[in-house]
Every structure is written in C-alpha cells, then in structure tokens.
C-alpha cells in the first residue's frame, strides 16, 4: 500500500487525514469522504453512484447517510436507510474480527456519540461494528460492494477507523498474513512467539537457534520448522519479518543481514551498544524500504501509561525533575545480562527501558549526561553493582536513573515533579518488583489522587506492528527513538570510563 489514495472530501467539520497516506483533490477522485448534514442534489448523488459503480469508493458518516438517503442514487449505493437518531450517550462498540478493517481492534471500547437506529443493514453487507441500544443489537458500521466499487458507512466518527475505511473503499484491503521468524529461542523468544501467535495477521513461521534443546522446545511448543543457522532463516521465503533476539552485543550484524535479505525486522532491546550501529541499521532499512523497530515492550506497562498521560495532560504543570529506580539486594541474573562484554554493562539492562520512558516524558534535546558506577559486592560477575545516570535537557529539566543490585532499601520507582503538582510511583511487591506495576499517586494543591491503572494490553507491540504493516498506521516504537536511547546510554558509559565526567551531547 505504498501508493496513496486520491480522496475528495465533503465535510462540514474538520476531517483529519495524513497527507503521507492520502492525496486530497478537488476533482472527482478514487474515493469520496462525506461528513456533512447538508442534503445532496440529485445530480451530485448520481455522480457519486456512478463513481462507485465504475470502481471508486464512497465513505460516509452516520449523519451524512441520514441526510442523503432520501435521494434515490445514494439509497441504491448504501442499500440501507438509517432510522431515527438516538440521544447522544456513551456507547460500547464491538468489532467484527473477521473483517480486515477490524482486525486487532479491541474486543470492545467506548465512545460518546449519537446512534442512528434501524434494523438494517442490507443482507449483502459486511458488518464492521455493532453496539447495544436498550438491549437491541444495532449496526454502527458496515461495508458493501456496489457495481465495481465499495461503499462504507461509519456511524461514529473516529480518525483511525476513517483512515482504514478510506483504504477499504479504495480496494486496498488484502488481509495481512506475515510469516515471522525468530532468531533466538530463549525465554524472551517464547514471549515473542506467544504474542505473534496471538496477533491477527502474524504467524510464527520458523525458529532459529544454535541449541538443539531450544530447537526441540520450539518444535514442541509451536509445531514450527527450525534452523540452526541464521542464513537458512533469512533465506526462508515464507518469512517476511525476523525478530532478532540475540544477546545485546550481537544485534547489529544479524539485523543488517536480515535487512539485506529483504526482511522486516524487530530488534530486541537494547537496539545497539553504540549509536553509530543504530545509524547503520536505520540507513539499511530506509534504503530497502523495510520496517525496522525495537521491542520496547514496556511502553505498554499500565503504570507508565498512567504517569505519561498525567505528564502530558498538563494537570501537574510543566514536568521539570524526574527520579527513577530499579533494584534491590540480590545476586545479578544470568550470563548475558551480567557479563559486560555481552550486555554492554549495567546501564544497558534496565536502562534500555528506563531511558526509553524518560525520553517519552521529556522529548527535549539532551544536553549533558553524567554517570557513576559502584563495584562493591558481586565480584563474580563483570557488570557494575550499581549505576546512576543524570541527564539534563534543553530548558533545564533533569532526570536521573538508578539501578542497584546492592540496595537494601528501595526508592520509589518514579518521582516526577511538575510546576503544579507531582507524581510518585511506589513499588508494590517484593522481592522481584520489576514485573509488578507501581502504585501511582498524583499530588496537587487540592489533595492526593490514587490513579486507577488501565488494563494491560498484553500484545500491544505486535498489534501496532501488524497495523503498521497492514494499514501504514504509525509505528509506536521507531528505530530513531531507540537509537536516541542508545546514545544516552553510550554517553553514560563514556562518563563512567572517565570518572563520572560530564559529557556534553546533543541527543
């Protein structure tokens, strides 16, 4: 779907369209989008009917169809006349998961809108969305063919659904079926496999691992073919996307080889140990027009989402100071996490998530990085026992990250100050706090507020990736963002090597 869709817009209110995906024209176009309450004259209605009949598309909102359906040509195309308009209220929408337009949408979500009641739509329509109105099933959106073209009705206005509807009306609705190959099948490989198989449009096609035991486990777990050499995986024509799950020091070359083989790539975090390697991978992907993203899966953590949403809402004013912490007193974990030549150092472990969070909260340019490390207790591993990194941004905002394996008392997970309030995230579980969400509390002059966390979207990363591949929807995690995180960690590593010296940067 690299080619854009030519769209003509008839609207009374602002319609948001991404110019990178749609070309807006004043003359007749491949697709007409109508969002208006004004009636249509018969001549224009006949023109729209003829446009759809000869292979074009028409997308209308609920109020448009109600205003136009009394005109015979539009009623022919729609095959349905909306009934009376119900009172504006909160509606629970449920998608039909069998249609490409509704794949990977939530099982249900809520909108506040008006509903046009009717017993339709026509029998030959594909129903897209339903809702309940006073315990009767109501159709909110549907799609049908007319002549050589398509008609799509949206009873509610939603930018994401609108963009998809335009592509459906343009005939660009081939269902996504992307074979995915895993390079590495350790614990995280199993997590990737589970998310892939749970995501419509993606399927686990192959697994590559040097270990015979891990290959046998993959075959047993997923009934999937396996390879012992990466080149075999990259040569597999059924694999369109490769997930690189090798240790951190061995990310760059497999990513480059997969891209050279024409595969889209998901790279495990950290993206790289050096920003220059990130640039090499980004350039290769761009030159081949391939997708490259990084598995920053903790952007979907409910406690982080809550903190991020508060920070972006301006309800605590302008954020200017942030402290973050992970750790406890416990022996460091396994080899590639704790051996500095493989892991990159302690900073690259949880720092890969924490700096990604920090840069989401503070998008301004990073100006200075300072870091210090301690080696005091765990002498059998090569990673530092504790690292602290301090970052200063344009405008003076500050953020710090502390990871400690020698902390008998834990600090809050997050401590965020704004000019009108603060947010504190307190750890809730011990002794392994990393996978438990924090209790999030907002402090303002008016008092304290304990936030209810949103439900976890377990497969959010892969749902977004599939939507990007299928619909060109924006990637949640871009390789450029991940490279920026690497650049901060690389600067911190340089600071430690020079006795905690302040490193001047522009990141």
Q: What is 87-145 written as a DSSP string?
A: PPEEEEEEE-TTSGGGTTS-S-EEEEE--B--S---TTPEEEEEEEETTEEEEEEEEEE
Where helices occur in 120-274 by DSSP H, the ranges are 159-169, 187-197, 212-222, 230-235, 252-260
Using DSSP bridges, classify how beta strands 319-327 and 264-267 pair: parallel, antiparallel or unpaired.
unpaired
Q: How far apart are CA 456 and CA 467, in angstroms?
A: 19
Q: What is the pLDDT of residue 1?
A: 37
Q: How far apart are CA 404 and CA 414, in angstroms?
A: 15
Q: What is the pLDDT of residue 351?
A: 96
- We find that the CATH architecture of domain 5-169 is 3-Layer(aba) Sandwich (3.40)
Q: What is 318-378 written as a DSSP string?
A: SEEEEEEEEE-BS----HHHH-HHHH--GGGTTHHHHHHHHHHH--SPEEEEEEEEE-SS-
Q: What is the pLDDT of residue 435?
A: 65
- Residue boundaries of the structural domains of the chain: 5-169, 178-295, 299-457+485-504
- Contact present, 42 and 17 (Cβ < 8 Å): no
Three-state DSSP at 303 gives helix
3-state DSSP helix/strand/coil % of the chain, to nearest 5: 35, 30, 40
Contact partners, residue 283, CB within 8 Å, separation at least 6: none
Q: How far apart are CA 131 and CA 483, in angstroms?
A: 43
Three-state DSSP at 68 gives helix
Any idea which residue has 């799509």 for tokens?
A: 152
DSSP for residue 85: B
Maximum alpha-carbon separation in the chain: 83
Give residue 21's pLDDT band: very low, low, confident or very high (50, 70, 90).
Answer: confident
Statement: the pTM of the whole predicted model exceeds 0.85: yes
pLDDT per position as a tens digit, 374-390: 999 999 999 999 999 99
Q: How far apart are CA 456 and CA 471, in angstroms?
A: 23
pLDDT per position as a tens digit, 24-75: 887 778 999 998 989 999 999 999 999 999 999 999 987 899 899 889 999 9
Q: Is the peptide bond before 431 cis (omega within 30 degrees of 0)?
A: yes
Tokens of 253: 């070359």
- Taking residue 387's Cβ as centre, other Cβ atoms within 10 Å add up to 27
- Taking residue 164's Cβ as centre, other Cβ atoms within 10 Å add up to 27
Give residue 179's pLDDT band: very low, low, confident or very high (50, 70, 90).
Answer: very high
* Same-fold call for 178-295 versus 299-457+485-504: no
Using DSSP bridges, classify how beta strands 178-183 and 241-244 pair: parallel, antiparallel or unpaired.
parallel
- Which one has a higher pLDDT value, 339 or 173? 339
In 3D space, the residue among 266, 271, 264 whose CA is nearest the CA of residue 286 turns out to be 264
Name the superfamily (CATH) of residues 299-457+485-504.
Dihydrodipicolinate Reductase; domain 2 (3.30.360.10)
pLDDT per position as a tens digit, 192-245: 999 999 999 999 999 999 999 999 999 999 999 999 999 999 999 999 999 999
Q: What is the pLDDT of residue 430?
A: 57
Q: What is the pLDDT of residue 446?
A: 94
Tokens of 486: 């690497």
Q: CA angle, 391 as apex, 387 and 392 as ends, to 5°?
A: 160
Contact partners, residue 251, CB within 8 Å, separation at least 6: 244, 267, 268, 270, 271, 272, 277
Give residue 2's pLDDT band: very low, low, confident or very high (50, 70, 90).
Answer: very low
Q: Chain-wide mean pLDDT for the chain?
A: 93
Task: Select the CATH number that applies to the domain covering 178-295 from these four: 3.90.230.10, 3.30.465.10, 3.40.50.2020, 3.40.50.720.
Answer: 3.40.50.720
pLDDT per position as a tens digit, 94-123: 998 788 899 899 899 999 988 888 777 888
Give residue 434's pLDDT band: very low, low, confident or very high (50, 70, 90).
Answer: low
Q: What is the pLDDT of residue 148?
A: 96
């Amino acid at each position: 779907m690299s080619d854009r869709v030519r769209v003509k817009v008839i609207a009374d209110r602002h319609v948001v369209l991404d110019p990178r995906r749609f070309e807006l024209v004043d003359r007749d176009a491949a697709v007409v989008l109508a969002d208006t309450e004004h009636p249509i004259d018969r001549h224009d209605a006949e023109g729209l009917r003829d446009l759809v009949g000869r292979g074009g598309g028409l997308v209308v909102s609920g109020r448009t169809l109600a205003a136009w359906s009394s005109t015979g040509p539009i009623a022919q195309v729609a095959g349905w006349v909306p009934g009376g308009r119900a009172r504006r209220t909160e509606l629970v929408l449920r998608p039909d998961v069998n249609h490409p337009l509704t794949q990977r949408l939530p099982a249900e979500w809520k909108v506040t809108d008006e509903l046009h009641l009717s017993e339709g739509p026509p029998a030959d329509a594909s129903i897209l969305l339903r809702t309940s109105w006073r315990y009767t099933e109501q159709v909110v959106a549907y799609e049908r063919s007319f002549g050589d073209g398509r008609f799509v009705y949206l009873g509610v206005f939603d930018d994401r659904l609108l963009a998809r509807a335009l592509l459906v009306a343009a005939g660009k609705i081939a269902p996504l079926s992307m074979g995915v190959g895993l390079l590495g099948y350790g614990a995280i490989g199993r997590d990737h496999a589970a998310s892939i198989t749970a995501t419509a449009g993606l399927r686990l096609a192959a697994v590559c691992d040097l270990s015979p035991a891990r290959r046998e486990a993959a075959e047993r777990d997923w009934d999937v073919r396996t390879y012992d050499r990466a080149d075999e995986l990259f040569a597999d024509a059924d694999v369109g996307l490769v997930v690189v799950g090798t240790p951190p020091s061995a990310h760059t070359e497999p990513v480059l080889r997969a891209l050279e083989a024409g595969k889209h790539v998901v790279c495990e975090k950290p993206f790289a140990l050096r920003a220059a390697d990130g640039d090499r991978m980004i350039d290769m992907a761009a030159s081949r027009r391939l997708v490259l993203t990084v598995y920053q899966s903790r952007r979907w953590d409910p406690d982080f989402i809550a903190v991020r949403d508060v920070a972006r809402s301006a309800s605590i004013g302008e954020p200017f100071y942030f402290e973050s912490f992970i750790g406890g007193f416990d022996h460091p974990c396994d080899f590639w996490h704790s051996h500095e030549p493989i892991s990159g150092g302690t900073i690259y472990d949880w720092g890969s998530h924490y700096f990604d969070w920090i840069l989401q909260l503070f998008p301004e340019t990073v100006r200075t990085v300072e870091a210090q490390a301690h080696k005091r207790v765990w002498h059998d591993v090569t990673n530092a026992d504790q690292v602290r990194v301090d970052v200063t941004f344009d405008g003076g905002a500050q953020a710090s990250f502390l990871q400690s394996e020698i902390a008998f008392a834990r600090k809050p997970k997050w401590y965020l100050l704004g000019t009108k309030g603060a947010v504190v995230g307190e750890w809730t579980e011990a002794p392994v706090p990393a996978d438990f969400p924090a209790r999030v509390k907002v402090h303002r002059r008016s008092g304290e507020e304990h936030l209810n966390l949103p439900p976890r979207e377990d497969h959010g990363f892969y749902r977004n990736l599939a939507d990007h591949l299928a619909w060109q929807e924006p990637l949640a995690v871009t390789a450029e963002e991940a490279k920026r995180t690497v650049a901060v960690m690389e600067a911190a590593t340089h600071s430690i090597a020079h006795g905690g010296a302040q490193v001047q940067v522009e990141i």
